[in-house]
Each structure stands twice: as C-alpha cells, then as structure tokens.
Amino acid sequence: MSESSAPPLACQRCQRRPASVHFTRIVNGEKSDRYLCEECAREEGAFHFMLDPQLTVHNVLGGLIGQVPETLKLATQVACPRCGYTYQQFAETSRLGCDACYQAFRPQLEPLVRRVQGATSHRGKIPVRAGGKLRQQQALHELRERLRQAIAAEAFEEAAELRDTIRALEEKTADTE
C-alpha cells in the first residue's frame, strides 16, 4: 500500500463489515498491508498468537538476543558506567537499567534493533495530507544511502543513475522553496 492512499473502510476479505484490524507483513523486504474486519481476521487465525502464553515480549527479545553473533556474546559482561547494569542482565530481562545503557551496549543492541526494526534510525511516519517537503527529504536520504551502497559495491552505472536522480530531486526541492 502506498503512503498516499488511505486505508479502506470495508474489510478487504468480505467487503461487508468495516475494517478494524490492520496487519503489516514484511517478507524479504516487501511490505504488504491488509485491513480486515475482526471476524475475518479471527477466521484467518490472525489472533492465535495472542493466545500463546509462551509468546511474550521477553521471550521474543530473548530469542533474538540469542541470535546475536558470538563475538558480541563475549561482551555480555559490559556494564553501564552510570547504573552498573550489565548486558547479561538485559539479555535475561529484556530491559535496560537507564538511558545511558543504550550507549554502553550500542555494539550489542544495533544488530538486535536492526533485526527487529529493519533499521537503526527512526524517521517516523509522514502525514498523508501534509509533509510533502518531508517526504522529499526522506526520499533524498534513501537515495543517498543507496548511492553510498552502490559505490561501496562498485556498481558505478547504478551509482551514476542514482546521482542523477538525486540531483533532479534536489533541483525540484530548490524550485519549490
């Protein structure tokens, strides 16, 4: 679903009842959104995960923490200089001791955050009716990141195309200001 379209009012499955349940599924980097009524969502088994007592935030994070590379597991005794909380305590509780823990455990947390959220920076959502300039800035940021990756991979033809796209978008942005 594109950012500019509004969610449907009717269930995408039955087309009779109002859509009250929103699912976002990301598979292999492809995002898809579904809007269903509660009855259709229940029929598709969408709520079965909520009934599983083993599925808690702690267990999910604990499972992901267990997937951190071995080199980072060696650093589990790193302690926060402010509160003394260790990374091992975080791994056991899925909670940090204070805001300084984010910096103290940054090498261990970055792969975890990237795996859970797909990125380590948060840009937030952009309002559909407003935020045209913000959308352009976000597009420029994403294009620059792709350009950086293309150069690193020595894909110079792709990099040249991205460079030209960036220049055109920058000119368009300058013209609207």
pLDDT tens per residue, range 102-123: 888 888 888 777 777 666 666 6
Name the domain count of the chain: 3
Residue 47: inside a domain, yes or no?
yes
Q: Give the per-residue pLDDT at 144.
A: 92
> Domain of 34: which CATH number?
3.30.60
Could you tell me what percent of the chain has a pLDDT over 70?
A: 67
Determine the pLDDT at residue 38. Answer: 85
Of 15-19, 31-35, 48-52, 140-144, the poorest mean pLDDT is in: 48-52
Question: Do the beta carbons of residue 112 and residue 64 sit within 8 Å?
Answer: yes
Q: Are residues 35 and 86 in the same domain?
A: no
Q: What is the pTM of this model?
A: 0.35
Specify the pLDDT at position 8. Answer: 67
pLDDT at 30: 80
**Domain carrying residue 89:** 53-117
pLDDT at 162: 93
Residue 118: DSSP 8-state: S
Q: Which amino acid is at 168?
A: A
| Whole-number pLDDT of residue 29 | 73
Give a yes or no: residue 122 inside a domain. Answer: no
Distance CA 172, CA 47 (A): 46
- Return the number of other C-beta atoms located less than 10 Å from residue 140's C-beta: 15
Let me know: does 2 contact 31? Beta carbons within 8 Å. no
At residue 51, does pLDDT exceed 50?
no
In a domain, 159, yes or no: yes
- pLDDT tens per residue, range 71-112: 444 455 688 999 998 888 887 777 888 999 988 888 888 877
What is the per-residue pLDDT for 46?
A: 65
pLDDT greater than 90 at residue 60: no
Q: Per the domain annotation, does 3 fall within a domain?
A: yes
Q: Are 12 and 38 in contact (CB under 8 A)?
A: no
